[in-house]
A and B are shown apart, each in its own frame.
Chain A
Amino acid sequence: MADLCDLPAHELVAKLKKKEISAVEVLESTFRRIDAVEGRAPSTALYTPQPGDETKVHAYISLQRERALERARAIDALIARGEDPGPLAGVPLSVKDIFCVEGTPSTAGSKMLEKFVAPYTATPVVRLEKAGAITLGKANLDEYAYGSSNESSAFQPAPRNPWDLTRVPGGSSGGSAVSVAAGEAVVSIGTDTAGSVRQPAAFCGVVGVKPTYGRVSRYGLIAFGSSLDCPGPITRDVRDAALMLNAMCGPDINDSTAANVPVPDFIANLNEGVKGLRVGLSPDYARIRYPDPKTGELRDVDLPDDIVAPVRRAAELLARAGAEIVEDVPMPNTSLAIPAYFVVSRVEAASNLHRFDGVKYGHRTSAPVENLREMYRKSRGEAFGLQPKLRILMGMYVSGAQYAKQYYQRALRVRTLIRRDFEAAFDKKGKYRCDVLATPTTPTTAFEIGAVYGDSVLMQYADLLTVPANHAGTPGISIPCGLDTNDLPLGLQILANDWDEATMLRVAAAYEQLTADEPWRRVRPTVLEH
């Protein structure tokens, strides 16, 4: 029998409400798993590998066991009194350490914020906790969410992939995906700026959702790319993702981009099936422009069969269940999404990082300084890692007065073209009239630790298939769709129109049910087999 910490949230909540189990038991089961697989606490000290580091997953930057235990007891007390404990009652939640949670260190994976203790809690976390979820720790991530492998965190040892400990978990929400895959949390909340929820979810064999931009408040999120950032759930199955979205979504007085759009009950229509829905397939998500790993030159390549075949197969299964397949949906600007992202995200990152100046919070140099300007330079030089520095410098360059037209303005206009690809695919009166698009989530499965890190161009291209939806603002989900020849998880991405997460979740849930009995679903991450 599976441990409690391995069950999906909706099963735990049902058992809890029937009083078959208690919230404290669920939490203790999760703590036992953490004790078994997590490994030593990470630190910002110069990393020296220690024996045993390579056998653990290292998902967390900090754990809040006491805070969690208190909340679990409170949930159990509510249930004992016959009160409704909420739709996520007692569900252990890991929170990507880019969200402020009051009273916890909220580090963004950076030395800059190593000692920062959040004075308030981010809106989506407030809402999940109000629904009964129990925050038990802050998950590791790429520094300031700048990466696709989680290797750039200032807190080392960095997370490892539970399916193969020599490989990366993806990023930037790497610790979040690892914690859910390894049973160190039941659900997690991450952020997706170019694929940072969907890509690690794909690499770790779990579900990850990027909602529509504006669906979930960004208040209390340490900002990266303000026009792209979306908080999103990471879960074991689609139903749990729907449960979390029910709790997280909706307007917020503290975020003027959190839109005043009605939030449907994402559970209500989850099992309605796909009859009559139009599922689009695009050749532009199968043949891609990608840097040669050796020379760095961009060239057009066909994605390997390992990656593409499961998408075709998913389409066939959905067709048998009543969906219409729309072939050859053109998404011609897909290959420009990374170049445009290199510009837009860097400008926004540079702007957002100016606030870290050693004055109001965060690291201040202890070296003697002559004046304020020198204090800025030394503090930022000491506390930012290579990725933030790289992004600030690029952001300064491409938005500089004499270069902005050539770079920043052009990138924003290319973004319009990318957006138009989606509008044409989803146009109800157009040629294709797709309800969703089905694509691979990533161009590869999880790569080896150290194989890409250091090459910031190749690393960025890991987000090639996820970032177009961030430019367009449209929602996307990654769900497990099998294992490759190395037994590494593969991700199927379902993309939908603005505000139509409900249809996207329905298609994902249908696929999940259609493949429920397939043998790959019974294979567990290797770290759980010891």
Chain B
Amino acid sequence: MSDEITPELFAHLVELAALELTPEEGEYLRGQLNGQLKAIHELERIPVPDDVPPAAHGVALPPEIRPALRADETRPCVAAEKILKQAPEAEEGYFVVPEIPHTEL
């Protein structure tokens, strides 16, 4: 059986995922993905009737048991300085990043 995730498809996924892999990593990961997909195909073993809805999570969380949303008002961030201190590069309250590639519209 040919691999579901071919080297070409894998390269596309790596690009989408914003990853950079060594050739050894890529080889291992592609093999594992194809192995996992074999297990995933078990999902096709049983019929799933059309009226079975998807479950976003298991427990029903109806509005009456969800905490009320707070008013949409700005609140000062108590830890702004501590948060900015975690940034690899920050300046005057801004995160600093390398050149953002421009796309012609």
* Distance between A481 CB and nearest chain B CB, rounded to angstroms: 26
| A116 located at the interface, meaning its Cβ lies under 8 Å from any Cβ of chain B in the complex | yes
Interface pair A412/B56, CB less than 8 Å apart: yes
Closest-by-CB residue of A relative to B69 is: A256
Residues of chain B touching chain A, judged by Cβ–Cβ distance below 8 Å, are: 5, 9-10, 13-14, 16-21, 25, 28-29, 32-33, 35-36, 38-46, 48, 52-61, 64-70, 78-79, 82-83, 85-89, 95, 97-101
| A413 located at the interface, meaning its Cβ lies under 8 Å from any Cβ of chain B in the complex | yes
Chain B residues contacting A371 (CB-CB under 8 Å) are 98-101
Partner of A260, one of B48, B52, B60, B67: B67
| A130 located at the interface, meaning its Cβ lies under 8 Å from any Cβ of chain B in the complex | no
Interface pair B29/A389, CB less than 8 Å apart: yes
* Distance between B23 CB and nearest chain A CB, rounded to angstroms: 12
Chain A residues contacting B53 (CB-CB under 8 Å) are 413, 416
Taking chain B's interface residues, is the majority helix, strand, or loop, or is none over half, making it mixed?
Answer: loop
Interface pair B87/A360, CB less than 8 Å apart: yes
| A282 located at the interface, meaning its Cβ lies under 8 Å from any Cβ of chain B in the complex | no
| A396 located at the interface, meaning its Cβ lies under 8 Å from any Cβ of chain B in the complex | yes
Interface pair B86/A119, CB less than 8 Å apart: yes
Interface residues on A, range: 35 or more
Binary flags per residue of A458-492, CB closer than 8 Å to B gives 1, else 0: 00100000000011111000000000000000000
Interface pair A456/B36, CB less than 8 Å apart: yes
The 8 closest A-B pairs by CB, nearest first: A473-B58, A381-B20, A473-B59, A412-B54, A364-B88, A119-B82, A361-B86, A227-B57
Q: Quick one: which of B21, B39, B48, B56 has the most chain A CB within 10 A?
A: B39
Given contacts A370-B99, A393-B13, A414-B48, A212 and B33 within 8 Å (CB-CB): no
* Distance between A241 CB and nearest chain B CB, rounded to angstroms: 20
* Distance between B38 CB and nearest chain A CB, rounded to angstroms: 8
Chain B residues contacting A398 (CB-CB under 8 Å) are 40
Instruction: Give chain A interface residues in 179-231, CB to chain B under 8 Å.
Output: 212-214, 227-228
Chain A residues contacting B29 (CB-CB under 8 Å) are 386, 389-390, 393
Chain B residues contacting A258 (CB-CB under 8 Å) are 67
Interface pair A350/B61, CB less than 8 Å apart: no
Q: Quick one: which of A212, A343, A455 has the most chain B CB within 10 A?
A: A343
Interface pair B58/A470, CB less than 8 Å apart: yes
* CA gap between A498 and B58 in the complex, in Å: 10
Given contacts A117-B86, A457-B39, A390 and B48 within 8 Å (CB-CB): no
Chain B residues contacting A335 (CB-CB under 8 Å) are 42
Partner of A373, one of B55, B70, B78, B101: B101
* CA gap between A437 and B87 in the complex, in Å: 48
Given contacts A260-B67, A394-B33, A415-B55, A376 and B43 within 8 Å (CB-CB): no
Closest-by-CB residue of A relative to B17 is: A392
Interface pair A214/B61, CB less than 8 Å apart: yes
Given contacts A227-B57, A412-B55, A251 and B19 within 8 Å (CB-CB): no
Interface pair A257/B61, CB less than 8 Å apart: yes
Interface pair B52/A397, CB less than 8 Å apart: no
Taking A343-B40, A371-B98, A372-B97 as given, write out 15 further A-B residue pairs in contact, using a Cβ cutoff of 8 Å, ordered by the A residue number: A116-B86, A117-B82, A253-B67, A255-B67, A260-B64, A335-B42, A336-B43, A339-B41, A343-B43, A407-B43, A411-B40, A411-B43, A419-B58, A474-B59, A498-B60
Instruction: Give chain A interface residues in 334-378, CB to chain B under 8 Å.
Output: 335-336, 338-340, 342-343, 350, 357-364, 369-378
| A410 located at the interface, meaning its Cβ lies under 8 Å from any Cβ of chain B in the complex | yes
* Distance between B33 CB and nearest chain A CB, rounded to angstroms: 6
| A417 located at the interface, meaning its Cβ lies under 8 Å from any Cβ of chain B in the complex | yes
Partner of B32, one of A291, A350, A456: A456
Instruction: Give chain A interface residues in 234-281, CB to chain B under 8 Å.
Output: 251-253, 255-261
Partner of B35, one of A255, A257, A378, A457: A457
Chain A residues contacting B85 (CB-CB under 8 Å) are 117, 119
* Distance between B19 CB and nearest chain A CB, rounded to angstroms: 5
Chain B residues contacting A392 (CB-CB under 8 Å) are 17, 19
Closest-by-CB residue of A relative to B86 is: A361
Interface pair B89/A397, CB less than 8 Å apart: no
* CA gap between A117 and B81 in the complex, in Å: 12
* Distance between B7 CB and nearest chain A CB, rounded to angstroms: 13
* CA gap between A473 and B20 in the complex, in Å: 36
| A10 located at the interface, meaning its Cβ lies under 8 Å from any Cβ of chain B in the complex | no
Interface pair A456/B35, CB less than 8 Å apart: yes
* Distance between B4 CB and nearest chain A CB, rounded to angstroms: 9
Chain A residues contacting B100 (CB-CB under 8 Å) are 371-372
Interface pair A414/B57, CB less than 8 Å apart: no
Q: Quick one: which of B35, B36, B41, B78 has the most chain A CB within 10 A?
A: B36
Binary flags per residue of A62-100, CB closer than 8 Å to B gives 1, else 0: 000000000000000000000000000000000000000
Interface pair A361/B87, CB less than 8 Å apart: yes
Closest-by-CB residue of A relative to B67 is: A251
Chain A residues contacting B14 (CB-CB under 8 Å) are 393
* CA gap between A370 and B100 in the complex, in Å: 9
| A289 located at the interface, meaning its Cβ lies under 8 Å from any Cβ of chain B in the complex | yes
| A451 located at the interface, meaning its Cβ lies under 8 Å from any Cβ of chain B in the complex | no
Binary flags per residue of A390-425, CB closer than 8 Å to B gives 1, else 0: 101110111000000001011111111111000000
Closest-by-CB residue of B relative to A116 is: B86
* CA gap between A26 and B33 in the complex, in Å: 48
Interface pair B21/A381, CB less than 8 Å apart: yes
Chain B residues contacting A296 (CB-CB under 8 Å) are 35, 38
* CA gap between A296 and B31 in the complex, in Å: 13
* Distance between B62 CB and nearest chain A CB, rounded to angstroms: 9
Chain B residues contacting A14 (CB-CB under 8 Å) are none
Interface pair A377/B13, CB less than 8 Å apart: no
Chain A residues contacting B35 (CB-CB under 8 Å) are 296, 455-457
